[in-house]
Amino acid sequence: MTALNQLKDNEGARKSRMRVGRGEGSGKGKTCGRGHKGQKSRSGPKINGYEGGQMPFYQRLPKRGFNNPNARKYAIINLDRLQEAFDAGKLDTSKPVTESVLVESGVVTKLCDGVRLLGRGKFTAKATLEISGASKSAVAAVEKAGGKVNLTQQKQEKTGKKTEKKAQVKEETPKANEAN
């Protein structure tokens, strides 16, 4: 048995850093391996993306699309994965299957903004599911098996000036046609 004062690292486990600017004999003296002059030899921030006056690559590419900062990120689960969990005994058909139950049983790893059920695969378990969202095919398959899907997050109706204008235009269009 060794004493605490005799413990040491294996040979080569700790490598000391290269000390630059300590004479030419060290191999990293004078310019410290940076070469002569220029932006790369200086300390401080470099101009990332600068290509010497040429139009930078990130500006040459076309810009498309929009990233919605308010978009909801759902944990997705398919019917076949849910059926496997019922068959393996991870989930109980007698109790309602909620999002927290899915996480506890390990069927869903991360909850995100909720769970969305998709309709891939066969589903035969008669179970009540309480989840954030589900596709029409998934709801139909669960109901066909004798189960029920309760959606916890209902879709919010869009309200705003654009939707109000569209509604007004739809109401005014038939009246204009009747006058002619």
Residues 43-53: tens digit of each pLDDT = 887 778 888 89
Backbone angles phi, psi at 116, to 5 degrees: -115, 130
Residues 1-47: tens digit of each pLDDT = 689 999 999 999 999 999 999 999 999 999 999 999 988 888 887 77
Tokens of 19: 């000390």
Residues 71-115: tens digit of each pLDDT = 999 999 999 999 999 999 999 989 999 999 999 999 999 888 999
What number of residues does the chain have?
A: 180
Q: Which residue has the higher pLDDT, 169 or 115?
A: 115
pTM score, whole prediction: 0.54
Residue 158 banded pLDDT, cuts 50, 70, 90 = low
Say how far apart CA 125 and CA 143 lie, in whole Å.
Answer: 10
Domains and CATH numbers, the chain: 75-151 (3.100.10.10)
Q: What are the strands, taking DSSP E only, across 38-127?
A: 75-78, 97-98, 115-118
